[in-house]
Structure 1
Amino acid sequence: MDMLNQILSINNGGAYGGGKAGGAFDPLTFAMKPQVVIRALCWLFSVVVFGCISSEGWTEKDGKEYCLYNGDGMACKYGNMVGVFGFLASMGFMGGEFLFERMSSVKSRKRYVMADMGFSAFWTFMYFVAFLYLWSQWSSSPPPPLGIGAGSMKTAIWFCLFSIVSWALCALMAYKRFLIGAGDEFTSAFETDPANVVHQQAYGYSMDNDNDQYSASPFGQPQQGGMEQQQSGLEYQQPTY
């Protein structure tokens, strides 16, 4: 649990959890970023999935191509599709992480984070479907001749399961980035609202004041004392005879 919290700790001081735009690029720091590490795992798992299926998922039977997943050609095609697009998307998002630190526009960072969050969540679902689909077809399929390809088919299923976890982590990190950015936008919008600025100046209140102190009211104690003195000076004096 502590390791998961450390992975999801991504607030670097900039907008949407990124670093300051225009900073110096450090390859080692970039390679150790949680987003880059998890994306690299997604890339590796995708290579294993479509590599196993495309290399040994098909065999010749009666002069036709036969998918080892119970003869269901759609199972092999779906597994290949999820793996190939996951491979391409992982490379694209790793390039996006490189450009993310150089995005000076907060709106550009917001669009990237939302795209990352949406696609990662969607591809988690796609891998979940692939895992169930391939596992159900493999459990019903007869053993391949001489056992050729059986290990690759099982490996593809296992790495679909691993991909579910890795893509879900990407979605969680993007969601946390979005929450950080949304909180920053709310705070900056409140502090720069003209109505709030006038209100703070009128009552001497500051967002940075931890004690929440207010300035003295214009109708405070000194004015009240002056009124009492005026009233005492205007008291009726009984005439002497």
Structure 2
Amino acid sequence: MQSSAYGASLAGGAFDLGSFVKQPQTILRCLSWLFSIVVFATITAEGYTNPSTEAETKCMFNGNDSACSYGVGIGVLAFLACVVFLILDAYFPQISNAKERKFIVMGDLVFSAAWTFLWFVCFCLLANQWSKTEKSSVADAARAVVAFSFFSIISWALLSYFAYGRYRQGVSEFEQEYRDPANDHNTPYPPAQFAGGPTGYQQSPYPNRQDQPGEYQPPSY
């Protein structure tokens, strides 16, 4: 049952760096990793400005510190998740247990779908706050954060799509490999040695007779 579900039958193969780098999931994770760096690094470095009339720094998105904190938090978690899933993708062919593979695929699917939604919220929040900002000296940085938040939605949505495809493939392989012998009429069974049960005792062709010594009796056939 666990021989080929989620590709476990391929486990134990040598790691191929060339094939790994060319995988769509690897490319998308690297892009998502890069986008998250742009978002949280830009907000951390240039996201807080100090207007001439105020001594305290404010978030460049309409002075809403919550918007900047949200963008930094989502970006940092996305950065860490990309690193973790890249390591799991590289180690994935070495996992021989189908259940462990299933948990990794489901975790990838759930996390990717959740971060697609959270990046959408981040993009809407930052775009809305930026539209309300009257004047800013870091307009280019703010636009870059909004733009890469939108790019992150696309990359994580594609990661969700590929994770769902891998999950469906694993379920299909699992159903094809496992068959309940009680319901599988195609499974050959050895013929019963005593199909009809005991049919009676068959006597030996040589009757057990107590003949006199020295007298020869031919067998009856």
For this structure pair, what is the TM-score category when the shorter chain's length is used for normalisation? Answer: 0.7 to 0.9
Are 2:50 and 2:57, in contact at CA under 8 Å, matched by a contact in 1? Answer: yes
The residue that corresponds to 1:220 in the other structure is none
The residue that corresponds to 1:25 in the other structure is 15
Are 1:42 and 1:166, in contact at CA under 8 Å, matched by a contact in 2? Answer: yes
User: How far apart are the structure 1 equivalents of 2:159 and 2:14?
Assistant: 25
The residue that corresponds to 1:150 in the other structure is 139
Read off the aligned partner of 2:131 and give its amino acid letter: S
TM-score (norm 1): 0.73
Displacement of 1:149 in angstroms is 1.3
* Residue number among 6, 24, 42 corresponding to 1:16 in the alignment: 6
User: How far apart are the structure 2 equivalents of 1:18 and 1:136?
Assistant: 47
Read off the aligned partner of 1:16 and give its amino acid letter: Y
Displacement of 1:142 in angstroms is 1.2
The residue correspondences of 1:117-136 to structure 2 (distance < 5 A) are: 117-136=109-128
User: How far apart are the structure 2 equivalents of 1:59 and 1:139?
Assistant: 17
* Residue number among 58, 74, 79 corresponding to 2:48 in the alignment: 58
Displacement of 1:72 in angstroms is 0.3
List gaps (5 residues or longer) in structure 2: 190-221
Read off the aligned partner of 1:93 and give its amino acid letter: F
List gaps (5 residues or longer) in structure 1: 1-13, 204-241
Q: Relative to total residues, which structure has the larger helix share, 1 or 2? A: 1
* Residue number among 186, 191, 194 corresponding to 2:181 in the alignment: 194
User: How far apart are the structure 2 equivalents of 1:50 and 1:19?
Assistant: 40
Q: Secondary structure at the match of 1:40?
A: helix
- Over 3 Å counting, the alpha-carbon distance change for 1:110 and 1:140 in structure 2 is same
Are 1:49 and 1:160, in contact at CA under 8 Å, matched by a contact in 2? Answer: yes
Q: CA RMSD in A?
A: 1.7
Read off the aligned partner of 2:153 and give its amino acid letter: I
* Residue number among 174, 184, 189 corresponding to 2:173 in the alignment: 184
Displacement of 1:129 in angstroms is 0.1
Displacement of 1:163 in angstroms is 0.4
User: How far apart are the structure 1 equivalents of 2:61 and 2:186?
Assistant: 68
The residue that corresponds to 1:84 in the other structure is 76
* Residue number among 37, 41, 46 corresponding to 1:47 in the alignment: 37
Q: Secondary structure at the match of 1:194?
A: coil
Read off the aligned partner of 1:20 and give its amino acid letter: L
1:132-180 per-position Cα deviation (integer Å, ceiling 9, x unaligned): 0000000001111xxx311011001000100000001111111011101
User: How far apart are the structure 2 equivalents of 1:100 and 1:135?
Assistant: 38
Read off the aligned partner of 1:178 and give its amino acid letter: Y
Displacement of 1:200 in angstroms is 2.1
Identity of aligned residues (%): 42
Q: How many residue pairs get matched?
A: 184
The residue correspondences of 1:100-115 to structure 2 (distance < 5 A) are: 100-115=92-107
User: How far apart are the structure 2 equivalents of 1:154 and 1:67?
Assistant: 14
Read off the aligned partner of 1:54 and give its amino acid letter: T
Q: Which has the higher contact order (CA 8 A, sep 6+)?
A: 2
Q: Secondary structure at the match of 1:195?
A: coil
Are 2:115 and 2:156, in contact at CA under 8 Å, matched by a contact in 1? Answer: yes
